[in-house]
Amino acid sequence: MNAHTATNAYAKVGIESGVNGADPHKLITMLFQGALLAIANAKNAMLRKDFKAKGEAISKAMLIIDEGLKASLDKKVGGELALSLDQLYDYALSRLFAANINNDAQILDEVSRLLSELKGAWDAIRQTALTNAPVQSQPLASQNKQPALVYGRM
């Protein structure tokens, strides 16, 4: 997946932000944020018994995970880690489907915790890279460097 495709997938699910100017690392962070927000919206709709809104929010979260996070994985370069993340995203998708069918807020909480942990790890990678990087006159994205190989297909 290239940056344009990832941008379109993100925009397709209706999340507003500065996607076009985001570097690959920031785009993945935004995908995590969008999925987490959609899951929170699904839970709120579920508690309100607004099943249409719940279904739409879960569908949005699933789209972000599948067409954003999962599709951005570079399994050739990312190796075992990318394959493990791919399986984890499949698990999250199946759990979201189950939450939707069973109206189970606990499953939404489970997937939210899982994605929050992954987002935290991803953010820590970025912070470490920024802390350890030498001072540069050009931004990371303009140098065409990837902050992590797992999501190298952006």
pLDDT digits (tens, 9 = 90+) for 10-30: 555 554 556 566 678 889 999
Q: Are 110 and 94 in contact (CB under 8 A)?
A: no
Count of C-beta atoms within a 10 Å radius of residue 99: 24
Does this model's pTM top 0.95?
no
Helices 51-63 and 24-48: angle between axes, nearest 10 degrees: 160
Q: Are 150 and 84 in contact (CB under 8 A)?
A: no
Q: Are 52 and 37 in contact (CB under 8 A)?
A: no
* Number of helices and strands in the chain (H, E): 5, 0
State both tokens at 45: 């709709």
Q: Looking at this protein, which amino acid is placed at residue 104?
A: D
Domain boundaries, the chain: 3-15+22-111
What mean pLDDT comes out for the span 69-98? 96
CATH class of 3-15+22-111: mainly alpha
pLDDT greater than 70 at residue 43: yes
**Among 42-51, 92-101, 126-135, whose mean pLDDT is lowest?**
126-135
